[in-house]
Amino acid sequence: MLRFFGRRLLLLGVTLVVASVLIFAITNVLPGDVGRIILGPFAPQDAVARLNAELGTDRPIVIRYVDWLTGVARGDWGRSYAFDTAVFPLVVERLGRSLTLAVSGLVVLVPLAVAAGVAAARREGGIFDRVLSTVSLAFGALPEFVTGVFLILVFGIWLGALPIQALPPDGAGPLTVIAHLVLPVGCLVLLLFAYLFRMTRASMIEALAADYTRTAELKGLPQRTVIWHHVLRNALLPTITVIGAQIGWLVGGLVVVETLFKYPGIGSLIHFAATNKDIPLLVGCSLAITFVFALGNLAADLLYAILNPRVRHGRHAH
């Protein structure tokens, strides 16, 4: 297990280095003249040249990348053009809020979708299976802005039961914080439930029909033991991979949800940075999201290896 963790940790490091090169190249090389982009097409050339000199964008790209990477390692991610403040604390603050929203969504989504998938698979073709499959697929096909507007209209405006704004006031208690997160979390759950539910259901149906399940049943083991110790352990493996892949999207791809519920997370921050041509902020947000995505996949790989020992020993995987 330690060797497996070491290999995955090394792969994580390589992934982050490659990602840093791509992020830096896309945001600093492909746009072209950074000073011209910031000042606009009609700015005098001498003003553009002065700005490029101030920003250091007139230096060779390799030197700029090495300086930037060294600064990132020290916690110096540059200064935001728009906010005129250090990028690192700004990104950390917004990332923390997005992680709060993402983790809250996963805490609700994963047990609910897995339990529903297990129940539907055990009653394959029944009323519960067909109704839940149809309803979840219908909600999953809706864009998040449609689902979010629906929740706001019903629970925030018509019923007045929940606050529309996701960010609670300063000094709010735990119950108030939870109340403010209910609608955006509900939007995430409705958006992702169908995918995770159907993945769990399909894996459970396959595991229930497998030889090891029939062997366990022929041994006379109780149904609960067969489900928990044989079926569910194997059925959850593809689901774990899917959850790990969704973490990066949950953190960085919530621009619509954050906008609808006025939640200042990193998704809305990266959108602001791109719109306002704030390159240091855009780079910082992209790097933070990449790091979270890589950590999410690392966690999924480790959990996958714990549940499936063959993965830890590549020579026995086949």
Q: What is the pTM of this model?
A: 0.79
Question: Are the C-beta atoms of residues 45 and 296 closer than 8 Å to each other?
Answer: no
Please check whether residue 152 lies inside any domain of the structure. yes
**How many whole angstroms separate alpha carbon 28 and alpha carbon 7?**
31
What confidence score (pLDDT) does residue 33 get?
66
pLDDT digits (tens, 9 = 90+) for 268-288: 898 888 888 788 898 899 889
Please check whether residue 165 lies inside any domain of the structure. yes
Question: Are the C-beta atoms of residues 269 and 90 closer than 8 Å to each other?
Answer: yes
| Cβ-proximal residues to 175 (8 Å cutoff; 6+ apart), any chain | none
What confidence score (pLDDT) does residue 182 get?
93
What percent of the chain is modeled with pLDDT above 70? 90
Of 127, 93, 101, 247, residue with least CA distance to 187: 101
What confidence score (pLDDT) does residue 17 get?
87
Query: 229: domain CATH number?
Result: 1.10.3720.10
Question: Are the C-beta atoms of residues 279 and 68 closer than 8 Å to each other?
Answer: no
| Cβ-proximal residues to 165 (8 Å cutoff; 6+ apart), any chain | 180, 261, 262, 263
Q: Which domain holds residue 204?
A: 87-316
Average pLDDT over residues 245-251: 75
CB atoms within 10 A of CB 193: 22
Please check whether residue 18 lies inside any domain of the structure. no
Please check whether residue 279 lies inside any domain of the structure. yes
Please check whether residue 255 lies inside any domain of the structure. yes
Please check whether residue 17 lies inside any domain of the structure. no
Residue 252 has pLDDT above 80, yes or no: no
Please check whether residue 287 lies inside any domain of the structure. yes
Please check whether residue 15 lies inside any domain of the structure. no
Q: How many domains does the chain have?
A: 1
